[in-house]
């Protein structure tokens, strides 16, 4: 088996890892609301991984595959292999310790590190832009969650809140799935694009064949099912004892942040946006509702993820790639 074939196998395995980490996190809050069964939720999210790039484009995949680092030739494929393995390993290690960190942050750090270690051109401006958006995502999600919670509490309605929540959940969850497929989920597309040599050039966008998209979506769903019992439970119950109405607000707030980032081609972590929005929705009920120790542990995990992935990938790529 040649290097390209090995990289393709790793790329599709990466889709399972994304399901384990990201898929479970996206579904964590919403599964606490009646109206959508777990299996329907998993299928809907997997479908969004396939449909969103076709409908909304692949700007985020293009940023990761072409704009961040120029991976060319066999050396580029080796460097990418190092980056994917490093990002997956760092994320798995932290998740095993009960810290569902950002696989997107890990991949960005690993791609940058592998590029530097292997001597490829790394766009400092793009790295800075991506890091800035990564910092802003949870903060904007927090602010959005807080403001939407205040707005909902003050909005007059003749229908009880408990009756409105399931209807809102359908819209909020659908928006969240679309946001994931348009942004965070496109790291899978970027890895496949580099593996097959279909990265963008001259301002073009990354293109991934529909059969590959379908396979990515299926593998992603497998990982999501496997991860629901660990990552999902930690995120949904660890930050705050979230209630159904707050879960829906979290969905809408985080999806808005991620969709906005997609429009400018900025890869951001859905996990970070969800965590920030979750804090924003619950803090309205009092600071005591937030498990600040868990929030601090998540923040530490995010801070450590990117530099750790960068350092490991740079070291390995300098020797092998």
Mean pLDDT for the stretch of residues 251-280: 91
Residue 52 has pLDDT above 80, yes or no: yes
Neighbours of 124 (CB within 10 A): 9
For CA atoms 89, 181, 236, 146, the dihedral sign is: positive
- What's the 3-state SS for 83-141? HHHHHHHHHHHHHHCCCCCCHHHHHHHHHHHHHHHHCCCECHHHHHHHHHHHHHHHHHH
Share of the chain above pLDDT 70, in %: 86
Token pair recorded at residue 21? 């980490």
Residue 316 has pLDDT above 90, yes or no: yes
- What is the pLDDT at residue 8? 87
- What is the pLDDT at residue 261? 94
Q: pTM for the complete prediction? A: 0.88
Give the pLDDT band (50/70/90) at residue 34: confident
Burial 275-297 (b: 16+ CB within 10 A, else e): bbbbbbbbbbeeeebbbeebbeb
Q: How far is CA 187 from the centre of its chain?
A: 8
What confidence tens digit (pLDDT) does each residue in 177-211 have? Answer: 999 999 999 999 999 988 877 665 545 678 888 99
Cα gap 288→286, rounded to integer Å = 5
* CA count, 13 A, side-chain hemisphere, 208: 34
- What is the pLDDT at residue 199? 66
Cα gap 181→171, rounded to integer Å = 16
Of the candidates 54, 59, 24, the residue with the CA atom closest to the CA atom of residue 42? 24
């Amino acid at each position: 088996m040649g290097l390209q074939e090995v990289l393709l196998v790793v790329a599709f395995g990466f889709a399972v890892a994304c399901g384990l980490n990201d898929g479970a996190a996206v579904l964590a809050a919403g599964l606490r609301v009646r109206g959508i069964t777990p299996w329907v939720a998993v299928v809907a999210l997997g479908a969004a991984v396939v449909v969103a790039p076709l409908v909304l484009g692949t700007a985020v995949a293009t940023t990761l595959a072409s704009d961040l680092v120029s991976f060319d030739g066999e050396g580029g494929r080796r460097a990418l292999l190092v980056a994917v393995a490093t990002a997956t390993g760092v994320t798995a290690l932290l998740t095993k310790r009960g810290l569902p960190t950002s696989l997107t942050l890990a991949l960005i750090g690993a791609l940058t590190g592998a590029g530097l270690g292997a001597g490829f051109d790394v766009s400092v401006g793009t790295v800075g832009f991506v890091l800035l958006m990564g910092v802003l995502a949870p903060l904007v999600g927090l602010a959005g969650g807080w403001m939407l919670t205040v707005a909902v509490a003050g909005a007059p309605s003749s229908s009880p809140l408990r009756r409105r929540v399931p209807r809102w959940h359908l819209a909020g969850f659908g928006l969240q799935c679309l946001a994931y497929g348009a942004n965070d989920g496109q790291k899978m597309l970027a890895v496949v694009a580099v593996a097959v040599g279909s990265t963008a050039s001259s301002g073009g966008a990354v293109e991934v064949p529909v059969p590959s998209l379908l396979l990515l979506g299926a593998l992603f769903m497998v990982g999501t099912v496997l991860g629901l019992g660990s990552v999902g439970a930690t995120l949904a119950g660890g930050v705050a004892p979230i209630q159904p109405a707050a879960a829906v607000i979290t969905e809408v707030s985080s999806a808005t942040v991620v969709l906005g980032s997609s429009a400018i081609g900025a890869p951001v972590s859905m996990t970070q946006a969800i965590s920030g929005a979750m804090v924003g929705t619950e803090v309205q009920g009092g600071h005591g509702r937030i498990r600040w120790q868990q929030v601090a542990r998540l923040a530490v995990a995010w801070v450590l993820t990117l530099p750790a992935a960068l350092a490991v990938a740079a070291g390995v790529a300098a020797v092998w790639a």
